[in-house]
Amino acid sequence: MIQASTMLYLYVETPLHAGTGSGLSSIDLPIQRERTTQYPMIQGSGIKGKLRAAAYIAKKQAGTWSDEEINVVFGPDENGADHAGALIAGDARILLFPVRSLDGVFAYTTSYEVLSRFQRDIARSSKQLNWNGPSQSENQGEEQAAFVTTPSSVATGDTLVLEEFSFTSSPDPQVNTIAQWLAEQVMPQTPEYRYWREKLKHSLVILPNNDFRDFVVHATEVITRIRISRETKTVDKGMLWTEEHLPSDTLLYVPMYATPARKMKNGSNDKGAASMTASAILDKARSLENSLRGYIQLGGDETVGRGMVCMHWAQKEN
């Protein structure tokens, strides 16, 4: 039974392709999406597998993990029928999506629905939020209205232009509260992220649900790739394809849960990894942020530098 939970945040630094194999659209290799909302996501199995690989790297480079701890936290490497891993990774969900802006280069966009879902997900970890997002009903009748911070670096007067679409900007102090909380709790807290934390405080935009959905569907990054023949130095037959990527500066969150260690103890006085509590399981997983300097690589195209993300685990409650 789940006895502890927290949140893992992933800030995308290079375009990320967590694919589905093939698709029926004009894009040959689309990214993973939720069926009902079409929001981008990354399946929890991929997140957990990459964290396991990161634990092996930490074991080899720093000696901070043992084979027993890896088996207890993530499950046995060979015989999965022995016991399940104690760490449970949910799907990575979208929280902030960067959209090109006429002012301020780009805006961090989200929506009423995304924020409400995030509130619901974080409530399972008993995390208390000091904000409630604006209600879409407050802009009822204004189809192209968007809530922005005060002041806003992406809105000019009462106009906000994202891509080629114009919105009526509606300053709201609650957006400032949300942006401040996200900058302090969700964004990586390392020195190199200082600029991005400050930018978020003045570039957050809360869009209507339909408009946000349209941006995450149509404003992703599509990259064309080819394979060159060694002999002819021309494109191999059929080796021209397109890949969809989540753009840099996307922010995802992953609900993380834990149970006490499920591995059977060797003896009644066993004090090793088999005795780890649910809280200790999460603490062990959280240690990966320090041992790997916070970076992991998700999705495909590792050899061409795709999928670099910065991890940030939610602060542990006292």
Instruction: Spell 264-299 as b/e; 16+ CB within 10 A means b.
Output: eeeeeeeeebbebebebbbbbbbbbbebbebebbbb
pLDDT recorded at residue 24 = 60
Kindly state whether residue 234 falls inside one of the protein's structural domains. Answer: no
DSSP code of 145?
A: E
Tokens (6 digits) for 296: 């992991």
Global confidence as pTM: 0.91
Q: What is the pLDDT of residues 63-100, one digit of tens each?
A: 889 999 999 999 988 776 678 899 999 999 999 999 99
Tokens (6 digits) for 244: 């969809």
Give the pLDDT band of residue 312 (cuts 50, 70, 90). very high
pLDDT recorded at residue 306 = 92
Give the pLDDT band of residue 106 (cuts 50, 70, 90). very high
Greatest mean pLDDT among 17-31, 164-178, 293-307 lies in 164-178
Lowest-pLDDT range, 110-124, 140-154, 176-190, 211-225? 140-154
Q: What is the pLDDT of residues 256-308, one digit of tens each?
A: 999 999 876 654 444 678 889 999 999 999 999 887 788 999 998 888 899 99
Q: Which residue has the higher pLDDT, 144 or 256?
A: 256
Kindly state whether residue 318 falls inside one of the protein's structural domains. Answer: no
SS (H, E, C) the chain: CCCEEEEEEEEECCCECCECCCCCCCCCECECECCCCCCEEECHHHHHHHHHHHHHHHHHHCCCCCHHHHHHHHCCCCCCCCCCCCEEECCEEEEEEEEEECCCCEEEEEEHHHHHHHHHHHHCCCCCCCCCCCCHHHHCCCCCEEEECCCCCCEECCEEEECCEEEEEEECHHHHHHHHHHHHHCCCCCHHHHHHHHHHHHHEEEECHHHHHHHHHHCCEEEEEEEECCCCCCEEEEEEEEEEEECCCCEEEEEEEECCCCCCCCCCCCCCHHHCCHHHHHHHHHCHHHHCCCEEECCCCHHHCCCEEEEEECCCCC
Give the pLDDT band of residue 228 (cuts 50, 70, 90). confident
Considering its fold, how many domains does the chain have in total?
Answer: 1
Show the domain range for 160: 4-221+245-313
What is the pLDDT averaged over residues 45-55?
94
Rounded to 5°, angle at Cα 94 from 90 and 98: 155
Residue holding tokens 């709201």? 172
Q: What is the pLDDT of residues 130-142, one digit of tens each?
A: 788 776 655 555 5
Rounded to 5°, angle at Cα 114 from 162 and 19: 80
pLDDT recorded at residue 123 = 87
**Rounded alpha-carbon distances, angstroms, from residue 188 to 40, 125, 201, 205:** 21, 19, 14, 20
Lowest-pLDDT range, 129-138, 174-183, 194-203, 224-233? 129-138
Kindly state whether residue 27 falls inside one of the protein's structural domains. Answer: yes
Kindly state whether residue 81 falls inside one of the protein's structural domains. Answer: yes
pLDDT recorded at residue 241 = 85
Lowest-pLDDT range, 2-6, 238-242, 245-249? 238-242
pLDDT recorded at residue 288 = 92
Kindly state whether residue 283 falls inside one of the protein's structural domains. Answer: yes
Question: Phi and psi (nearest 5°) for 287?
Answer: -65, -15
Q: Which residue has the higher pLDDT, 154 or 63?
A: 154
Kindly state whether residue 237 falls inside one of the protein's structural domains. Answer: no
pLDDT recorded at residue 269 = 44
Mean of all residue pLDDT scores within the chain: 89
> Is residue 294 a contact partner of residue 277, using CB atoms and an 8 Å limit?
no
Tokens (6 digits) for 224: 């064309």
Kindly state whether residue 45 falls inside one of the protein's structural domains. Answer: yes
Q: Give the whole-angstrom CA distance, residue 208 versus residue 275.
A: 48
